[in-house]
Structure 1
């Protein structure tokens, strides 16, 4: 199967602290890939390296065969990558629709006049981008709250909007940093369904950080496990559950699924 992302020998150091230590794995196009490990293992640091928020100390990250290690975050977005954050970073006073439109407009290539007036080519672009936003609203079942300020929404819905803003970019690869954190079981089930549909219906490659091992094992095609910044496991869910290093460091004998 063709890899869409190749991470090779990535290390990240802050002063005397090594957040990542020579981490290598690959992600196949069209799969659901999970990155797991104890708190402080380096999972979010890894997503920050992939999305361009952090500059690794050493190593290589290739997206569809192209080295992206020195690219800015917005340049990676134009290549087909998007990121949803663990801590919600929405504009609370703006509506669901406007938050999604704002994310999508980062792809606008035509000039925009002040006040939101679009003319000529920009007008055609705006129509196309608005159509994509509407598709995301329908996909995530946000129709009834499209005009609601996101700051007034329950936490679970805000998390869904955060994912929606990343999806509005139409990514080939989406990075989801704990999209189910703080959710109840019903909300987790719904988000799991959306993630499966991203994979199966949208043909989007999903990179997921999630602490609920039941969800991880049920959704993932492959998993990489980090501990103290090092990769201690990489493989299918079955292989991960049988990996003695992973069991010792993270899963535990009592909780093997």
Structure 2
């Protein structure tokens, strides 16, 4: 049994079928990639996993528990965190404040105690700050911790977006095209951070990415979607030799 099981998931928007009876497993501690052409259903799949969408049919199980009908905040509290393709940060807040927002489901102090900032609320704030500072050190963004996010370069904003998800201390980290719009140097840095998150934090990662070099180098297993259907599943080598995947997405130049 994998840490995450997708069982016969189907997602419809009226007459449009975004996901068509998709099933696969993600094993604990692996880097798992979702690939496919634009419009294949990859982001829809992440939305189903994170709770933004509910499958029309089928189910999603996390650590053996059926979470299909759980709200997004409930899934986050279980350890499923999401970094978005389109940056969803608060541009006028500092890097530190944006990362602190990633701790929201871990905060237990009530509104009144938090407003007065004393006793248990103060102690809890200090502990959350420690966790966020660890993320800041890990992502090497110490010198911009107090900088408004909206003034940062695109590559740094993507790093902060990933950091906010990491602040949750997730068991599964969902990354939707974390390298989109980056130059080659920024891509290398992000790939290194993904490897470090996987190895040092022992985090299971589900990755959507169009750079096939990155996908093949990083992934333990890959699922391939095309028009909402699963057309391939396996190791990078198996995917590169899959005729359906070559025809629909990879092309001969990316095949082994």
TM-score by length of 1: 0.97
- Tell me, yes or no, if structure 1 residue 153 matches structure 2 residue 169: no
State the match for 2:94 in structure 1: 95
Unaligned runs of 5+ in 1: none
| 8 A contact 1:34–1:222 mirrored in 2 | yes
Distance (whole Å) between structure 1 residues aligned to residue 73 and residue 64 of structure 2: 18
Q: Tell me, what secondary structure is at the counterpart of 1:113? A: helix
> Quick check: 117-126 or 201-210, which moved more?
117-126
Distance 2:2 2:169 in 1: 19
Contact (CA 8 Å) 1:97, 1:146: kept in 2 or not? yes
TM superposition shift of 1:47: 0.2
How many angstroms apart in 2 are the aligned matches of 1:216 and 1:116? 45
Residue 62 (structure 1) aligns with: 61
Distance 1:233 1:116 in 2: 52
CA distance in 1, matches of 2:114, 2:235: 51
Aligned equivalents of 1:118, 1:33: Cα separation in 2: 41
1:17 aligns with 2:8: no
Equivalent-residue separation in structure 2 for 1:158 and 1:140 (angstroms)? 12
Contact 2:240–2:254 at 8 Å: present in 1 too?
Answer: no
Q: Distance in 2 between matches of 1:47 and 1:58?
A: 16
Offset, 1:114: 8.1
The residue number in structure 2 matching 1:38 is: 37
Moved more, 67-76 or 99-108: 99-108
Equivalent in the alignment of 2:235: 236
| Rounded Cα–Cα distance in structure 2 between residues aligned with 1:35 and 1:146 | 32
Deviates more, 1:74-83 or 1:110-119: 110-119
- Contact 1:32/1:208 (8 A) holds in 2: yes
**Superposed counterparts of 1:1-257, under 5 Å:** 3-113=2-112, 116-256=115-255
Q: Is the 8 A contact 1:105 1:129 kept in 2?
A: no
1:123 Cα deviation after fit:
2.0
SS at match of 1:41: coil
Q: Counterparts of 1:115 and 1:149 in 2: how far apart (Å)? A: 24
Per the alignment, in what secondary structure is the counterpart of residue 21 of structure 1?
A: strand
Give CA-to-partner distance per residue, 1:18-74, whole Å, 9 cap, x none.
000000000000100000000000000000000000010000100000000010000
Whole-Å Cα distance in 2 between the matches of residues 177 and 196 of structure 1?
A: 16
Query: What's the CA shift for 1:165?
Result: 0.4
Across the two proteins, how many residue pairs are aligned to each other? 256
Distance in 2 separating the partners of 1:157 and 1:183: 10
Unpaired runs of at least 5, structure 2: none
How far residue 116 of structure 1 moved from its aligned partner, in angstroms, is: 4.7
C-alpha distance in 1, partners of 2:129/2:85? 26
Q: In 1, are the aligned partners of 2:113 and 2:121 still within 8 Å (CA)?
A: no
Give the Å deviation of 1:254: 2.0
Q: CA deviation at 1:146?
A: 0.5
Please report how far the alpha carbon of residue 233 of structure 1 lies from its aligned counterpart in structure 2 after TM superposition.
0.4
Please give the alpha-carbon distance, in whole angstroms, between the structure 1 residues aligned to 2:205 and 2:141.
Answer: 21
